[in-house]
Structure 1
Amino acid sequence: APTDGAEEEMSCDTWARMTMTSSLAEYARNEECNFADVEQKRATGIALAAIVVHAMTTPSMRWGGDEYPPIAARLTALIDGYCQPSNSNFWLYTACLLVALMREDRRPLAISSSSYKELVETLLAELA
């Protein structure tokens, strides 16, 4: 069992990701949808939800503290393990969300990458 608020939040984030993705193959099959498309939509929704939670968090705690882990750690826990291609729209959308966070915090954005996924990984490292 988690021993502090930040650890509990991370456990909740991991649980949410597992819950949202646990039956994707069955859902895609039942709805006659492409699995990769369903996974991309769920992953995109989860990334947006993390940003919404970040926006609702007390500003002094947004970058981490006793009760909340840093947004980079939360997003990493939420999007960890997706098998989306490195230039998937999921990575592009998530990069846009991260750029918005960095702009809001007035952080520098001198970043280049060879794929959307690499851009997300670089942005997450910058936010940590």
Structure 2
Amino acid sequence: MDVSYAVDTLFAGVVPERLDELKNLWGQHAERVRLLDVPRFLLQQLYGTVQVSEVALRQIWLTGYAAWSAVQAYNVPLALSAVHDAPLDIAAWHAVPSQAERDFAFDSLFDKLIELGRIGSLEGFNWPENVPYPQEGLKITDPEMKGTFDLVCMAGAYVFAHEVRHGVFEQEGSRPNDLVEEEWECDRWALSLMLDEAEDYANRNGWAPSDVRAKRLLGIIIAKLTILALTPRSSWDESEDHPPVRERMQLVLDAAVDPVPDWFWITVTSMLLAFARRLGISITPRPLPPSFRSLSYNICELLTSH
């Protein structure tokens, strides 16, 4: 199924200030993006077309809502630990019944994300009741659910932008000889597309530039969390065709230059902490570093194959 115009609409909603540039670069013809019925996560550029599966789109969606559940789980204990100069101790936090409930809520959503990949189809998959189902004409009234939807759209725009850059390399015949370097170039290009003109766009619309950039960065982080969750841990370190997952995440964190909103780094930390815990990363009790920015980087450094 040709879904090129749906992706155009996605770009128009997320990066309207870059839409003309994208049209000139990528065109407006049909068959630029095809939705394929394959029983796995598929998102790739091949022969001038971005190929994507329904499973992939739904897994990105579920990652976004799992990421927000992570924020609900860890924002408060992280903030309280910082205020009271207490250590980061997720086992001690979990001993509190209300925290255990929030941990369970996150774990359940994360596990649904993995389950969908295992089943490879929406048939036979029970969609989680606390997550809006993506469908045409969807109306979301809950502010947090709507905010998460916006972040999922930003994640989607980023991953499609990444694939667009692959397509431009192919079209120009200028692909780097090294596959890992090509991935880096596509990551950097997509990040640039999302962020470089965000400040001017925000100013023209009377919004705080730091808020616009921060929200787009959270969307991109959700895209990277999808990669983290779906990549076998044995492949987290550099492979023949992809950079290490932690370095790809660090590239996004590096783009979060000051000023950022007060809520930004504790939100990022909450997401990284929950995903790392559920993926089996050992996070032993430790003093909190001077900032949540530092803690985000510390957790990111733990995202290795061993």
Shared fold (TM-score greater than 0.5)?
yes
Query: Given the alignment, which residue of 281, 290, 296 partners 1:114?
Result: 290
Task: Calculate the TM-score normalised by the size of structure 2.
Answer: 0.38
Structure 2 distance, partners of 1:81, 1:74, is 11
Pair 59,125 (structure 1): closer, same or farther in 2 beyond 3 Å: closer
Task: Tell me the residue number matched to 1:13.
Answer: 187
More strand by share: 2
Contact 1:10 1:77 in 2 (8 A): no
1:4 maps onto 2:178 in alignment: yes
**Residue 85 (structure 1) shift:** 5.2
1:124 maps onto 2:300 in alignment: yes
Task: Tell me the residue number matched to 2:211.
Answer: 37
Task: Tell me the residue number matched to 2:80.
Answer: none
Contact 1:14 1:78 in 2 (8 A): no
User: How do 1:46-57 residues align onto structure 2 when only pairs under 5 Å count?
Assistant: 46-57=220-231
**Residue 71 (structure 1) shift:** 1.4
1:90 maps onto 2:264 in alignment: yes
The 10-residue stretch of structure 1 (12-21 or 88-97) with the greater mean CA deviation from structure 2: 88-97
SS of residue matched to 2:224 = helix
**Residue 23 (structure 1) shift:** 0.7
What is the RMSD computed on CA atoms of the aligned residues? 2.3
Aligned residues: 128
Contact 2:210 2:259 in 1 (8 A): no
The 10-residue stretch of structure 1 (104-113 or 117-126) with the greater mean CA deviation from structure 2: 104-113
Pair 65,100 (structure 1): closer, same or farther in 2 beyond 3 Å: farther
Unaligned runs of 5+ in 1: none
The 10-residue stretch of structure 1 (28-37 or 104-113) with the greater mean CA deviation from structure 2: 104-113
Structure 2 distance, partners of 1:92, 1:114, is 12
**Residue 72 (structure 1) shift:** 0.9
Structure 2 distance, partners of 1:87, 1:121, is 18
Query: Given the alignment, which residue of 71, 80, 100 partners 2:254?
Result: 80
**Residue 87 (structure 1) shift:** 7.7
Structure 2 distance, partners of 1:85, 1:35, is 9
Task: Calculate the TM-score normalised by the size of structure 1.
Answer: 0.82
Structure ranking higher on relative contact order (CA contacts 8 Å, 6+ apart):
1
Unaligned runs of 5+ in 2: 1-174
Contact 2:236 2:303 in 1 (8 A): no
Superposed CA offset, 1:29-83 (max 9, x none): 1211011111111111111111123334456423431122121100111231322
Contact 1:47 1:78 in 2 (8 A): yes
**Residue 86 (structure 1) shift:** 7.7
SS of residue matched to 2:302 = helix
Please say which structure displays the higher CA radius of gyration: 2
Percent identity reads 27
Query: What amino acid maps onto 1:4 in structure 2?
Result: D
